[in-house]
Structure 1
Amino acid sequence: MQQQQVQGLAIIALFGGFAAVELLRRRFFSPHATREDNRLDLVMGLLLPLFIVPAIILLCNLLGQWLFPDAQNQLADWPIWLMIVALLLSDDLTQYWWHRLSHTSWMWPFHRAHHAAAYMGVRVVYRNNFFYYLFMPGLWASGIWLYLGFGWVYVSYAIVKMAVIIGAHSEARWDEKLYAIPALRPLMWLLERTISTPATHFAHHALSQKDGIGHYTGNYGNLLFFWDVLFGTAHITRQYPPAFGLPDDIRHGSEKWQVQVFYPLLKSSRAETVLSGTPVPPPEA
């Protein structure tokens, strides 16, 4: 079985497992989800894994064969630890900065869709603007590493990363019960400072950060929460925000799904919106 097939099946299994837990806990179908939300979640849930990522990998491969044909698989004999370090720095660290940059005014329109959901869950994981992913540096770096021979190491890395990211968005809240076990306190202290957890990532999606729980101006890490600790953007409370979403959506209603996905090719006519092309800053403290 080819590497991409193994990776795809593993990620589908991860999504399915967390979704099953959400269904059992009656948290998969949120009463806060609008028709536009449902369509946006579905479209980007298919576009990213079935079109954007394969297209980037294919293009990196074609460009590599054209410009650097002798370089294909030249790094296949690198030590595994070195490949992992390269992936963490070129993919996960750059994604931290890409995510952090997307909370500035000029990039906010391309990330707004991810925060517009007034709910959490596995369906939010891929929810973003089309161009947010198309130009994400880490995806292109991963395509280059694959061309150079990272193969199964990249597949393993991608599966672990997606397990953490899906778990951090899921209403399964896997960390909630673990916090209550006294014997696990040292482990959880270390874990929540190493990888993204539901508590830290839910805080990033909060409707407000005035209660001391929400923290949408930080907690940017995807696989490693350590980047937030390192760069001073971490906020750890072990609590979950009472509400999610964006204030302007509450006031004016959801944006059209196609505008959220394909801005700036499509623009909004709704009042008080960054998707009209008029500068509107992201939420601030």
Structure 2
Amino acid sequence: MEPQKLQNILIVCLIFGYALMEWVSRRYKDTVTANGNDTKLELLMFLSLLAIAQPIALLVTGKLCAWLIPDMRGAWANWPVWAMLGLLLVGDDLTQYLWHRASHTPLLWPLHRAHHSAEYMSIRVTYRNNFLYYMLMPGLWIAGIFVYLGFGMTYAIYIVVKIAVILGAHCAWRWDEPLYKIRALRPLMWVLERTISTPATHWAHHAITNDDGIGHYKGNFGNLMFIWDILLGTAHITRKFPAKVGLIDDRLFGQERWYHQMFYPFFQSRREHTALKFGGRPYDDSQAPTSTVTST
């Protein structure tokens, strides 16, 4: 079976599997409060990533490589799997960590803000971002080079594992929560939560506030590997989950429209306290009333 076809089949199975667990556990029904605006943003971003951003990155890098290094097509196909995975972890996952971290700076925040504007956690949030967030993501383009060099099947398996972790980190079904309570699993969970992203560490990144000691929206940037946060000093591990996720300015001034979130800077918001217009600034969460950030 072709790597791309196998990859797509496994990804579809993962999505349905996590969706089933969200439903069976009742977490989706009890916690996901999405409206039509959320659905349009999440659905269109997911489709645009699959149909536009990823294909363009693979196509363009393939064409450029064929032009600049025509003799290198498939040249690394016989590398050992561990070497390919090591290069993918650095070239794709570490660069995505750095891109994600940079996207929390004022310059790039408008391209990532949509991901944090959801007031719930679910697999549907996973690819909720601005369209340019993925078009400009370095790892997506670097991956195209690796595919050209012959990483085909290894890359497909790597992506499936990565998506399994990322979907799990956003899932409304918090798969790690009961495992922390099993004494025999404590050593394993200690290692696991420092190696890959888990719901506890990633939900903290989506928290609406850091004041409770659980939220950590200025850290926990890891996608597949949480170890980047450990090594680069941005990790915060509590094994607890924030009472609320989302953005304070949305709660105070109303949700941004889906097309402003997805297509900024081509469409710009007129809302008060917005990052989605030239010269705009988000609301300073230090000024937020206590009632907007604590559990009810």
Please give the range of the TM-score, normalised by the shorter of the 2 chains. over 0.9
Equivalence for 1:32: 33
CA displacement 1:192-245 (0-9 Å, x = unmatched): 000000000000000111000000010000000000000111000000111011
Aligned to 2:219: 218
Letter in 1 for 2:140: L
Does the CA-based 8 Å contact 1:44-1:261 persist in structure 2?
yes
Separation in 2 of the partners of 1:3 and 1:187?
32
* 2:23 corresponding residue in structure 1: 23
- Helix, strand or coil: the match of 1:70? helix
In 1, Cα distance between the equivalents of 2:26 and 2:177? 17
- Write the letter of the residue equivalent to 2:107: W
Letter in 1 for 2:6: V
- Secondary structure (helix, strand or coil) at the match of 2:28 reads coil
TM-aligned CA distance change 1:190 to 1:63, over 3 Å: same
Shift in CA distance, 282/137, structure 1 to aligned 2, threshold 3 Å:
farther
- Whether the 8 Å CA contact 2:206–2:217 is kept in 1: the answer is yes
1:48-86 CA-to-partner distances (Å, cap 9, x unmatched) read: 122211121111112222222111001111111111110
The CA RMSD over aligned residues, in Å, is 1.4
1:203-282, aligned counterparts within 5 Å?
Answer: 203-280=204-281
Question: What are the residue-to-residue correspondences of 1:21-60 with 2, within 5 Å?
Answer: 21-28=21-28, 30=31, 32-60=33-61
* Offset, 1:263: 0.6
Gaps of at least 5 residues in structure 1 are none
Which runs of 5 or more residues in structure 2 are unaligned?
Answer: 287-296
In the TM superposition, what whole-angstrom CA distance separates every residue of 1:136-173 from its partner, at most 9, and x where no partner exists? 00000100000000111111111111110000000111
Matches of 2:285 and 2:105 in 1, distance apart?
A: 10
The 1-side partners of 2:135 and 2:264 are apart by: 13
Distance in 2 (CA, whole Å) between partners of 1:201 and 1:59 is 32
**How far did 1:282 drift?**
8.0
What is the aligned partner in structure 2 of residue 103 from structure 1?
104
**Cα deviations by residue, 1:244-283 (Å, 9 ceiling, x for unpaired):** 1101110111111111111111111111100022242586
Q: Secondary structure at the match of 1:276?
A: coil
Superposed CA deviations along residues 72-129 of structure 1, whole A, max 9, x for unmatched, are: 0011111111111100001100111100010011110000000000000100001001
Superposition misfits of 4+ residues, deviation over 4 angstroms:
281-285
- The residue number in structure 1 matching 2:62 is 61
Partner of 1:7: 7
Number of residue pairs aligned between Structure 1 and Structure 2: 285
SS at structure 1 position matched to 2:238: coil
**C-alpha displacement of 1:32:** 2.7
Higher mean C-alpha displacement, 17-26 vs 182-191:
17-26
Does the 8 Å contact 2:197/2:225 carry over to 1?
A: yes
Paired residue secondary structure (2:173): coil
SS at match of 1:126: coil
Once residues 229 and 192 of structure 2 are traced to their aligned partners in structure 1, the CA distance between those partners, rounded to angstroms, is 13
**What is the CA distance between 1:43 and its match in structure 2?**
0.7
Q: Contact conserved, 1:108 with 1:281, CA < 8 A, in 2?
A: no
Partner AA of 1:161 in structure 2? K
Structure 2 distance, partners of 1:283, 1:77, is 52
Give the conservation status (yes or no) of the 8 Å contact 2:121–2:170: yes
Aligned twin of 1:136: 137
- After TM superposition, the structure 1 = structure 2 runs for residues 74-223 of structure 1, keeping only pairs within 5 Å, are 74-223=75-224
Percent identity of paired positions between Structure 1 and Structure 2:
53
Q: Is the 1:105–1:281 Cα contact (8 Å) retained in structure 2?
A: no
| Paired AA for residue 207 in structure 1 | I
